[in-house]
């Protein structure tokens, strides 16, 4: 009897740790990126339902100094403001038109090829060494560059009846700094125009940090309706975003 009790005690001492160990949490991924490419990506939130409660340090606002320096905040506000009134023949204040032409391009939506036309205008600053390349089509795309090819890209894109505003810092003509998207919470109705986009009270929906053309650092996405986090990730090594982005079939 003592021998049986001894063996039972021995077996329980071996088995108990198996059940007392906490279960390993399932590894999370950024769902629209190639999984095999994410070995150096630490994802702590990946929830495209209603999202997860967002800590104050990651509040989705331009005024959040954990995400934006004061200089970048002002640069973003100024950039969105200056492109609202540009046209194919009229550039931002202080520029003159040096070239303008039309081009056709195709893009794919849900296996359907769509033909579109855009006007590309180039403006030169008269009071400094800088230029603007502005594309007008279904939305508006602008590139500001100085003599060192530093500057930023800005976009106004129609989303249903609203507007998504994009801003990305550039150094040596490569993404470097922050790339962000904001959602204009003021619908325009059926008739949409970039000049009617309203940046006031817009909500940050996406935030990435770039270095020399590669994502490196924080990547965040939010549900703009409730402020919850959809994605919270840290890229610990330079990552080629465009190469690893999954394309719709």
Q: Does residue 18 lie in a domain region?
A: no
Q: Does residue 77 lie in a domain region?
A: yes
Instruction: Name the burial class of residue 190, with classes exposed (0-12), middle (13-18) and buried (19+) by CB atoms within 10 angstroms of its CB.
Output: exposed
Q: Does residue 153 lie in a domain region?
A: yes
Q: Does residue 14 lie in a domain region?
A: no
Q: What is the dihedral of CA 75, 58, 215, 46, to 10 degrees?
A: -140
Kindly give the confidence (pLDDT) of every residue in the chain, 249 residues in length, as a single tens digit, with 9 standing for 90 and above: 443 343 334 334 444 343 334 455 689 999 999 999 999 999 999 999 999 999 999 999 999 999 999 999 999 999 999 998 899 999 999 999 999 999 987 666 667 777 778 999 999 999 999 999 999 988 999 999 999 999 999 999 988 778 999 999 999 999 999 999 999 988 888 888 888 888 888 999 999 999 999 999 999 999 999 999 999 999 999 999 999 999 876
Q: Does residue 9 lie in a domain region?
A: no
- Determine the structural domain holding residue 93 and report its residue range: 25-244
Q: Does residue 167 lie in a domain region?
A: yes
What's the pLDDT at 201?
83
Q: Does residue 120 lie in a domain region?
A: yes
Q: Does residue 16 lie in a domain region?
A: no
What's the pLDDT at 109?
62
What's the pLDDT at 110?
62
Q: Structural domain tally of the chain?
A: 1
Question: CA 221 → CA 47, 59, 106, 244, distances in Å?
Answer: 10, 11, 28, 18
């Amino acid at each position: 009897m003592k021998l049986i009790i001894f063996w039972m005690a021995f077996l329980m001492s071996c088995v108990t740790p198996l059940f007392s160990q906490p279960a390993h949490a399932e590894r999370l991924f950024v769902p629209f990126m190639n999984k095999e490419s994410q070995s150096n990506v630490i994802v702590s939130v990946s929830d495209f339902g209603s999202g997860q409660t967002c800590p104050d340090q990651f509040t989705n606002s331009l005024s959040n100094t954990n995400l934006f320096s004061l200089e970048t905040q002002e640069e973003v506000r100024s950039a969105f403001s200056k492109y609202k009134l540009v046209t194919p023949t009229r550039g931002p204040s202080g520029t003159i038109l040096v070239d303008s032409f039309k081009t056709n391009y195709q893009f794919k939506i849900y296996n359907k090829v769509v033909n579109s036309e855009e006007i590309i205008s180039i403006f030169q600053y008269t009071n400094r060494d800088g230029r603007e390349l502005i594309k007008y089509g279904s939305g508006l795309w602008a590139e500001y560059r100085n003599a060192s090819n530093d500057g930023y890209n800005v976009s106004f894109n129609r989303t249903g009846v609203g507007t998504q505003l994009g801003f990305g810092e550039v150094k040596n003509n490569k993404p470097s700094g922050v790339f962000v998207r904001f959602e204009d919470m003021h619908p325009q109705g059926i008739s949409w125009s970039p000049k009617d986009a309203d940046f006031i009270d817009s909500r940050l929906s996406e935030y990435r940090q770039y270095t020399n053309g590669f994502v490196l650092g924080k990547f965040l996405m939010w549900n703009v309706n409730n402020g919850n986090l959809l994605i919270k990730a840290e890229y610990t090594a330079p990552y080629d975003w465009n190469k690893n982005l999954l394309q719709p079939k």
